[in-house]
Amino acid sequence: MNIHVTPEDTSIAEAIARFCEQEIAPAAAAIDEQERSACCHLKPLAEVGIMGMNLPEAYGGAGISAVALYLVVEHQAAACASTASMVTAHFLATDSILYGGTPEQQAQWLPGAASGNSLGCFALTEPNAGSNPAGMLCVANKTSQGYHLCGTKHFISNAAQADFLIVYAKTDINAGHRGISAFIVDSNTPGLNISAAERTMGLKGGHVYEVALDCHIPESSLLGGVEGKGFRTAMKVLDNGRIEIAASCTGIAQAAYRAAQGWANDRQVNHHAIAQFQGLQWMMADMTTDLEAARMFGLRAATKRQGGEKYSLDSAMAKLYASEAAARITDKALQIHGGYGYTRELPLERYVRDVRIMRIYEGSSEIQRNIIGSAVLRNT
């Protein structure tokens, strides 16, 4: 199929690339080293419109194409993967309202989120319900004044910094995934308790938290005003999120690839650039092929998304291939740098650490294979 990258898409991407190189990339190493929240970049990101780039202009967003959004996320991740993870987690929250909310909820929450005046988080995963949301234990019991939310969410990005949370919970514990609803929860709600940030291997500035809920919330918090729509909303949002994960993967991989390319041309052994050695050339050939293929998967999914076609299968393939390919690319890039790549003086080891989570969250590689395998076998 055709992949549509317009001149406008390219212009937007180039502008964001320049911004990220100047404003985001210089702080990436310190954010990682100090485990400082990437929310320190929230103001400059908001000023260039990045926090609302997934939203239509009607709600204060940029109204850009899905292809342009892919490229924007890719450039963010190339500069600082922690920053990209913070932004894309915010996108999951605002996409939830965009796809599942009432017009009143959209008008209330989305303009502030698009402007960067409020930050969102997406609270779906639980300690015992990660890849299987239907097994969640968090419940929302109807009361005379609204709902009582009770349960625990885990590995929730942005939770401590967020102004609002999109919390998925069961309103009917006997209905499986059809009993899941979603709620907009203000971060100041009594009974909302957030842990210290988890100590993670990578994305050390993209903080994740455990969220304990024992909250009474008004009926107006029910996303969409109808119970039982949460699972469908979450799956739609995650289709988008998987394309954004693919973009993050190709962004990190691109940064590693460029570093390896420069090192291979500059590094001398016995008065010869190591780029002249066949073994290294083969490594670069594999990296080039992986990177281009991963980007094509992602852009194809984004093209289908913006064209209004079904893209669940494409987003699963994009996320699977890009996350696996990025692991290979970053590992080879570190290998090309030799012992220097293993030190923390260079960003190669950070790229390897940051990309590792991509094969786990928003649906592990194994879950993506289940989605893909089931889909293709149904069509035979």
User: What are the catalytic residues?
Assistant: 362
DSSP per residue over 115-183, as a string? Answer: HTSS-EEEE--BTTBSS-GGG---EEEE-SSEEEEEEEEEEEETTTT-SEEEEEEES-TTSGGGGEEEE
DSSP string, 84-107: HHHHHHHHHHHHHHHHHS-HHHHH
Contact 363, 371 (CB under 8 A): yes
- N-to-C CA span, the chain: 20
DSSP per-residue letters across 233-244: HHHHHHHHHHHH
For the four alpha carbons of 193, 206, 181 and 164, in that order, the dihedral sign comes to positive
Reduce the DSSP state of residue 280 to 3 states and report it. Answer: helix
Pairwise CA distance, residues 229 & 46, whole Å = 31
Both tokens assigned to 35: 């485990």
Q: Are 65 and 306 in contact (CB under 8 A)?
A: yes
Contact predicate 125/209, CB 8 Å: no
Contact in structure between 241 and 358 (CB atoms under 8 Å): no
